[in-house]
Amino acid sequence: MMQHKDDLARIITAESGKPLKEAQGEVLYSAQFLEWFSEEARRIYGDVISTASREKRALVLKQPVGVAAVITPWNFPSAMITRKVGAALAAGCTVVVKPAEDTPFSALALAELANQAGIPPGAYNVVPCSRRRAQEVGEALCTDPLVSKISFTGSTATGKALLHHAANSVKRVSMELGGLAPFIVFDSANVDQAVAGAMASKFRNSGQTCVCSNRFLVQSGIHDAFVSKLAEAMRASLRVGNGFEEGTTQGPLINEKAVEKVETHVSDALAKGATLVTGGKRHQLGNNFFEPTLLSNVTRDMLCAREETFGPLAPVIKFHTEEEALVIANAADVGLAGYFYSQDPAQIWRVAEQLEVGMVGVNEGLLSAVECPFGGVKQSGLGREGSKYGIDEYLEVKYVCLGGL
């Protein structure tokens, strides 16, 4: 991967529209998962258990679950594959990857590189398909008796459908599903740091990441200053354009349906009384481009506060107390990532422990790292990826009792 990093980045930008600089970062991130799990393969430890019997010894072995079906999304067409496949191969599982129908070429490029690197034929397999056949192929993978493990990243609705299919044969399942990440700014926060974190968290990949901040909750004492500085930063540093052009920070959204959802969230909010601070419509560059948009005076009943937007929309909700912020943040039925900014040590502990999410960024807008566990709670999924915990998703624990000693 590192030898072909420039080609891989260009493939990502060509098929997803992601700015080339971000695509280059994704390739490095992707390769790190392979490196990480190649090292973790050495640390698949078993165990020896002391028993009450002199004639017996108890051992614990860890063994690969078997064939793993990996279903990946379009927003990180390389990294979402290596995060799963790296763990599976290190555990000793063979894999069948069904990439997103919008972005199949990164998966195929990785297959070619796997072949060049000496991965045995049949260990890493790719099954691309059309949008029309996606549901059928997903069902086939989840119901085939030869498949022992399903790992899926995508929407909560699709995850539920795959869980239903996998239930009939009781397959091992990992799910990394949708989020509705709150980004809370308390009165004690450093506003400039919070704005920088908001920009990184919200507008990476044009707002199309599962850990993107979806709801900005800003305390009343700092609210106006935060909105003003965030609008200023958006106008100054975000540039919509072709992903291959130097200086582009915001590429197109993945397809027409994605743009329509952002439009719906904006129009719904404005109709219910939100204030448009900047942006708000499709960009003149073309139908799949949308202006980075900031809304204030947002309320909890608006769609953008209740549904994952997956686009460059930042809605700001004003709150007054810590308790109110936590109620709003935890009202969602999903819980992937959450962020908050505060300089109060006691508050940092309270809020970090009470946020109902799998990952918390405290005074930090970017969470992901290969060494750290990635995953959510509630309807955001099952299991963890990356880190020392990620390889366990592809291992079975076997107890062996030796008698007659």
Task: Give the model confidence (pLDDT) of 277-291 as tens digits.
Answer: 999 999 999 999 999
Any residues with CB less than 8 A from the CB of 152 and at least 6 apart, and which? 70, 71, 158, 159, 162, 173, 174, 175, 176, 177
CA proximity to 85, closest of 77, 93, 76: 93
Q: What is the mean pLDDT of the chain?
A: 97
- Angstrom distance (rounded) from CA 159 to CA 156: 5
User: How much is the average pLDDT of 302-326?
Assistant: 97
Task: Identify whether 176 is a catalytic site residue.
Answer: yes
Residue 26 CB burial class (10 angstroms; 0-12, 13-18, ≥19) = buried
Tell me the H-state helices in 238-363: 256-271, 303-306, 322-329, 345-354
Tell me, what's the pLDDT at 9? 98
Beta bridge partners of 60: 47, 399
Per-residue pLDDT band at 383 (split at 50, 70, 90): very high
User: How much is the average pLDDT of 299-326?
Assistant: 97
310: left (phi over 0), alpha (psi -120 to 50) or beta: left
Tell me, what's the pLDDT at 395? 98
313 φ, ψ (degrees, to nearest 5): -120, 125
Task: Out of 15, 26, 40, 176, pick the active-site residue.
Answer: 176
User: How much is the average pLDDT of 115-131?
Assistant: 96
Residue 404 CB burial class (10 angstroms; 0-12, 13-18, ≥19) = exposed
Tell me, what's the pLDDT at 133? 95
Q: Do 262 and 211 touch, CB atoms closer than 8 A?
A: no
Structure tokens, 194: 């919070």
The interaxial angle of helices 20-40 and 79-91, nearest 10 deg, is: 10
SS3 265: helix
Strand order from edge to edge, sheet including 57-64: 47-49, 57-64, 395-402
pLDDT tens, residue by residue, 235-270: 999 999 999 999 999 999 999 999 999 999 999 999
Q: CA of 292: how far to CAs of 211, 271, 372, in Å?
A: 17, 19, 30
The percent of residues above 70 in pLDDT, for the chain, comes to 100
User: How much is the average pLDDT of 198-213?
Assistant: 97
Structure tokens, 356: 């109902």
Structure tokens, 339: 């962020």
Q: CA of 255: how far to CAs of 105, 188, 251, 260, in Å?
A: 17, 40, 12, 9
In the chain, the domains with their CATH numbers are 2-177+380-403 (3.40.605.10), 182-362 (3.40.309.10)
Any residues with CB less than 8 A from the CB of 297 and at least 6 apart, and which? 273, 274, 275, 316, 318
User: How much is the average pLDDT of 228-233?
Assistant: 98
